[in-house]
Each structure stands twice: as structure tokens, then as C-alpha cells.
Amino acid sequence: MKRNSMILTVILVASVCFLQVVCGERQAVAAEESKPESTASMPTNDSTKAEAVPVSTKGGPAITFEKVVHDFGNIGPGSENVCEFKFTNTGDKLLTIARVSKTCGCTPYTLEKKQYQPGESGTLKVKYHASSRGGSVKKTLTVYSNDVANSKVELVIKAKIVPQISYLPRSIDLVFNEENAGCPAITIKSLDGKSFSISGFKVEWRFKKTEGGITADYDPSKEAAEFVLQPKVDMEKLQKGLKGYIQINLTHPGSNMIAIPFDVLPKFKVTPPSLIVYKAEVGKPVTRDVWVLSNYDEDFEVESTSTQEGAIKVLSQEKIDNRYKFELEITPPAIEKGQKKFFADEFFINIKSGEKLKIACRLFYL
């Protein structure tokens, strides 16, 4: 019995050893199989290399600018300045520029063509005309194209307008009761010491009712660092304009023009300057008072009054010191069916000295 137990024990020990040997061999095989293959044994076909390169998602036209901001730096008032924005079609299809929008009156542009092949470059030329006033400016152009990813590109123009010409006066007030309308001399001086000449002198009226009215003698061939002009005023033409500016053209490289605004004090003042009636009803009169006085404290006489459309009637006319008071009756006339509910008339006051004053009247119906 004892001998049998010993035999059984030997058999069990032998089985355990056998299992350990088998398991160890299997683990060694598994470890060997899990090792990566050497570089020499890796396949070297082109398909494996292509998988390592990222696949490009680019498609269609693409507009790429070298720069989107151009800074002119310091420039002179009224000067002309040109810059360029270069671009390239970096896409793989035809690029078409639909349009270029620009800011108010200061960035005209030129573009040779609107279509560009892949890899082809172009240039957008922009001209900036500086204003007559100093200060920092920023203008924007927007380029629209068929680049789906970047269909709208904003280009920015910057500059600092630095006066290189000084002039006095900066504005002029003219009157009728002084010699030459009280117009002072105009002094123009170069701030950088550079000589220049005067190439033009003209008057621009606010309402374009007259031409000329203010002139000055100058020699366009003369060059100097400072000029003093003596304007001459036509008093008769002055009555037709009242507002405008004097434009003087220069040959200075940093400023080619200056503009001096002027105002003329009219002989008479009308209060109110216009008549407006709201909620007007056909045939229902409305009364208004109008005063006329002299801006120069001068006595005057009213010769007559009139109306253009006949809707205004003078109820009373009274002179108080050197002023006139008019009581007016405004009767809204009938308007045809389908017309806008609006009516306009004008009331005229004729002064004995020849002046004719006009008062606009506007009626808005219910």
C-alpha cells in the first residue's frame, strides 16, 4: 500500500513538470510572433509610402495676397498716393474676381483682368487721394471672388495726413457793408521750406448758382516758399451764392491744393426761413407769422409780395422799427385722387432796393 502511494506521487510530479515545460514553450512562441518585423523585412512598395503622406483637401480656386494692409505713413494733404496689392491663384482651378467694393470716393482701383489660372499672379493697383484736412485715415476695399473658402478679402489702406503747407485764414466771413466785402489777404507758406508755385485759383459755390465772384492775381511761373494773395470780390455775384469755398492749386510736392470755406452774411434775415404745415385739411386755412429784418441794421422798404401757387394770402403787413411782420393765411388746396398728400408753394417778398426774398411752404395732408 505504501509502495502504491509513492508511485502515484511520482506520476503527479512528472505531470506538473511536463505542463510547465509545454506552457513555457508556447509563451516563447507567442512572444516571438509578437515582435515587430525588422525594417529590412518591411515591404517597400509605393502604396505604403503614400499612406504616410497626408491626403490634401485643397480643391478649387484660392486667392492669396502678399499683404492685406498698406500703410503710406506720413503724406501731404491733397496728395495723390498709389499702392499695389499683389495676389496669386494658389488653387487648382480658374480664379474669378467678381468685383471690388471701395470706400467713399477715395480708393479708385485698376485691375488688368478678372480671371487667373492656377499659379497665375495679378496686381490690384489702388490710388488714394488725401483730403485737405490732417489726421489719421483708414480706408477699406473688399475683393469678392469665387474662392469658396475665402470669397471676401478686406484690404486696408492707412495713412497719416501731415500738413506741409500752412495758410491763413482758415475760413472767411464776408459782408456787404465793407469794402471788398471785408475779405482779408490769404497767406500760404511752406512748412518744409520747399519752394512752390500757385497753379490755379477758383471759387466753388455751394448751390452752383453763379460762377466766379472772387478772384486773385498770381503768376504761375513764380516759385517761393511763401505767397500773399489779395482776393478781389464781385459784390453783385456775391449776393447769388452766399456760401462756398476758395480752391487754390499748388505745385508743392506734399500738398497740391488748399480749400478755404467762406460765408456771406446776407442783407436780410427771414424768420422762420420756411413754412411747414402738418395735418393739413383741404380748404381749412392756417395762419403763420413771418418776420423780415436787416442783418446790417439798415432801414428798408417792402415793395410787394407774391405767391407762386396762390395758396398763401397776406392778412396783414406791419413795419416795426426796421423790421416787417407779415401775417399769412395758408389755405390747403384740393389735390387730385391718387396724388401724394403733399403740396408746395413759395412766398416772395420784393424789397425796393432790388432784393427778392423767398420763403418755401410745404403742406402735408392728413
Note the helical H segments in the chain: 2-34, 46-52, 235-241
Instruction: Output the pLDDT for position 50.
Output: 34
Instruction: Output the pLDDT for position 257.
Output: 86
How far is Cα 344 from Cα 332, in angstroms, rounded to an integer? 10
CA distances from 289 to 194, 333, 357 (A): 59, 20, 15
C-alpha cell at 331: 389755405
Instruction: Output the pLDDT for position 228.
Output: 97
CA 222 to chain centre: 37
Query: Do the Cβ atoms of 161 and 135 come closer than 8 Å?
Result: yes
Instruction: Output the pLDDT for position 209.
Output: 62
Instruction: Output the pLDDT for position 237.
Output: 83
How far is Cα 324 from Cα 163, in angstroms, rounded to an integer? 48
Residues 6+ apart with CB under 8 A from 147: 60, 61, 62, 63, 91, 95
How far is Cα 89 from Cα 96, in angstroms, rounded to an integer? 9
Instruction: Output the pLDDT for position 43.
Output: 38
Entry pTM? 0.61
Which domains can be identified in the chain, with CATH numbers? 63-161 (2.60.40.10), 165-264 (2.60.40), 268-365 (2.60.40.4140)
C-alpha cell at 248: 487754390
C-alpha cell at 126: 489702388
Mean pLDDT by 10 residues, the chain (366 residues): 46 46 43 41 37 48 96 86 94 94 72 94 92 85 94 94 91 95 96 94 80 91 97 87 90 87 94 95 95 94 95 95 94 82 94 93 92
Residue 39, helix vs strand vs coil? helix
Instruction: Output the pLDDT for position 343.
Output: 92
